[in-house]
Amino acid sequence: MTLTVAIVGRPNVGKSTLFNRLVGRRLALVDDKPGVTRDRREGEASLGDLEFRVIDTAGLDDADTESLGGRMRRQTEMAITGADVCLFMIDARAGITPLDRHFASLVRRSGAAVILVANKCEGKAGEPGLYDAFSLGLGEPVALSAEHGEGTSDLYAALKAFSEANGAEAGARPGRERKTVPVADTLLEPGEDGDEEADLGPDRPMRVAIVGRPNAGKSTLINKLLGEERLLTGPEAGITRDSISVDWQWRGQPIKLFDTAGLRRQARVVEKLEKLSVSDALRAIRFAEVVILTIDATQPFEKQDLQIADLVAREGRALVIAVNKWDLVEDAQKTKRFLEEECERLLPQVRGVALITVSALAGKGLDRLIAATLEAYAAWNRRVPTAALNRWLAEALERHSPPAARGRRIKLRYMTQAKARPPTFIVFCSRPEELPEAYTRYLINGLREAFDLPAVPIRLQLRKGRNPYAEK
pLDDT score of 91 more than 80: yes
Lowest-pLDDT choice from 130-134, 288-292, 314-318:
130-134
pLDDT at 319: 96
pLDDT score of 119 more than 80: yes
> What is the domain range of residue 302?
188-380
- Residues 362 and 401 reside in one and the same domain: no
91 contacts 120 by C-beta, under 8 angstroms = yes
In what order do the strands lie in the sheet containing 424-429?
Answer: 412-419, 424-429, 459-464
Confirm whether 173 is domain-assigned. no
pLDDT at 409: 84
Lowest-pLDDT choice from 29-43, 113-127, 410-424:
29-43
pLDDT at 62: 57
- Residues 196 and 337 reside in one and the same domain: yes
- Residues 33 and 87 reside in one and the same domain: yes
- Residues 415 and 277 reside in one and the same domain: no
Confirm whether 291 is domain-assigned. yes
Mean pLDDT of 384-404: 93
pLDDT score of 220 more than 80: yes
CA nearest neighbour of 292 among 310, 319, 317? 319
- Residues 337 and 444 reside in one and the same domain: no
pTM for this model (two decimals)? 0.68
pLDDT, tens digit (0-9, with 9 covering 90-100), for 29-75:
444 454 455 567 777 888 888 888 888 887 665 555 555 556 666 77
Confirm whether 470 is domain-assigned. no
- The residue that leads in pLDDT, 81 or 34, is 81
Q: Which amino acid is at 434?
A: E
pLDDT at 374: 95
DSSP 8-state symbol, 382: -
pLDDT score of 447 more than 90: yes
- The residue that leads in pLDDT, 170 or 93, is 93
pLDDT at 452: 92
pLDDT at 174: 39
**What is the distance between the alpha carbons of residues 159 and 165, in angstroms, rounded to a whole number?**
10
- The whole-chain average pLDDT of the chain stands at 80
**What is the distance between the alpha carbons of residues 93 and 71, in angstroms, rounded to a whole number?**
28
pLDDT at 75: 75
Domain CATH for 12 = 3.40.50.300
* Contacts (Cβ under 8 Å, ≥6 apart) of 98: none
Q: Is the dihedral angle over the CA atoms 99, 20, 33, 220 positive or is it negative?
A: negative
- The residue that leads in pLDDT, 173 or 315, is 315
DSSP 189-231: -TT--S------BTTBPEEEEEEESTTSSHHHHHHHHHTS--S
- pLDDT level of residue 289 (50, 70, 90 thresholds): very high
pLDDT at 188: 38
Mean pLDDT of 311-330: 94
pLDDT score of 377 more than 90: yes
- Residues 140 and 235 reside in one and the same domain: no
Lowest-pLDDT choice from 151-155, 271-275, 364-368, 413-417:
271-275
DSSP 395-414: HHHHHSPPPPBTTBPPPEEE
pLDDT score of 200 more than 80: no
pLDDT at 22: 87
The structural domain count of the chain equals: 3
- Residues 127 and 253 reside in one and the same domain: no
- Residues 114 and 132 reside in one and the same domain: yes
pLDDT at 340: 94
What number of H helices and E strands is found in the chain? 13, 16
pLDDT, tens digit (0-9, with 9 covering 90-100), for 243-285:
677 889 998 899 999 888 767 665 554 455 456 667 777 888 8
- Residues 230 and 344 reside in one and the same domain: yes
